């Protein structure tokens, strides 16, 4: 009869479980179109329990992003410049395959309201099915940032609302440069 601990490991990670590397490498994937203070909040928290946190931009132009992958990675790099163990990269294809290539054993996802949960639940289980040895960890941004999303920031910016305090300076300056006609005019 197999050792109960080994049996549990097989149940949890499957038969082809790989030995976890000594250093904890995590991937924080997303569209980041653009990065917000909500994302930055998650990065600041996740980097405290990882040795290397790789913020990974999905290369998927089908989503018709406002910013190109190059622009998004540049804004991310500028925004995380003060975090020594955070790196920015991009990927296409399956997230778990990218995680394996980068020798990451963790996927970080930020979770805001309950409305995020269903989609995140599905993705986490699908990723676990594909690679049982890659674990998803959910991180909650602070209350102050829990309502911020890239989609809402873009909407408010397009309509001329004030987005300062919602996105880091590299994003704010680009949006201001980009949208002369949309730049914030009032207290809203």
Asked if 90 is an active-site residue, the reply is: no
Query: Exactly one of 63, 64, 115, 177 is catalytic; which is it?
Result: 63
Q: Is 81 exposed, middle or buried (0-12, 13-18, 19+ CB in 10 A)?
A: exposed
Given the residues 90, 112, 146, 149, select the one marked as catalytic.
112
Is 62 exposed, middle or buried, given 0-12, 13-18 or 19+ CB atoms closer than 10 A? exposed
Residue 101 lies near ligand PNS (rule: CB under 6 A): no
Q: Which two tokens stand for residue 186?
A: 């009032």
Buried b (16+ CB within 10 A) or exposed e, 108-123: bbbbbeeeeeeeeeee
Among 30, 38, 168, 170, binds ligand PNS (CB under 6 A): 30
Please tell me whether residue 127 binds ligand PNS under the rule CB under 6 A.
yes
Q: Is 69 in the site for ligand PNS (CB under 6 A)?
A: no
**Could you confirm whether 145 is annotated as catalytic?**
no
The 10 Å Cβ neighbour count of residue 101 is 11
Judged by CB, which is closer to ligand PNS: 8, or 101? 101
Q: What angle do CA 103, 58, 18 make, to 5 degrees?
A: 20
What is the rounded CA–CA span in Å between residue 11 and residue 17? 10
Q: Is 39 a catalytic residue?
A: yes
- Residue window 129-168: x/- pattern of binding to ligand PNS, with contact defined by CB under 6 A: ----------------------------------------
Report how far residue 40's alpha carbon sits from residue 45's, in angstroms, rounded to the nearest whole number: 9
106: tokens are 């963790």
Is 63 among the residues known to form the active site? yes
Number of chain positions touching ligand PNS (CB under 6 A): 9
- 58, 75, 166, 175: which one binds ligand PNS (CB under 6 A): 58
Using the minimum distance from each CB to ligand PNS, give the nearer residue, 44 or 184.
44
Residues that bind ligand PNS (CB under 6 A): 29-31, 58, 94-95, 123, 126-127
Show which residues are catalytic. 39, 63, 112, 150
């Amino acid at each position: 009869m197999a050792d109960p601990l080994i049996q549990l490991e097989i149940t949890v990670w499957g038969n082809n479980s790989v030995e976890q590397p000594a250093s904890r490498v995590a991937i924080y994937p997303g569209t980041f179109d653009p990065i917000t203070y909500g994302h930055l909040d998650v990065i600041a928290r996740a980097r405290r329990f990882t040795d290397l946190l790789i913020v990974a931009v999905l290369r998927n132009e089908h989503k018709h992003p406002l910013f190109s992958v190059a622009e998004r990675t540049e804004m991310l790099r500028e925004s995380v410049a003060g975090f020594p163990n955070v790196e920015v990269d991009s990927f296409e294809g399956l997230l778990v395959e990218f995680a394996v290539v980068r020798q990451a054993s963790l996927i970080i996802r930020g979770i805001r309201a309950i409305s995020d949960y269903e989609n995140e639940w599905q993705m986490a289980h699908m990723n676990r099915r594909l690679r049982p040895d890659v674990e998803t960890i959910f991180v909650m941004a602070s209350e102050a940032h829990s309502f911020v999303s890239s989609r809402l920031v873009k909407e408010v910016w397009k309509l001329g609302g004030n987005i300062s305090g919602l996105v880091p300076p590299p994003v704010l300056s680009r949006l201001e440069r980009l949208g002369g006609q949309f730049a914030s005019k009032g207290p809203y």
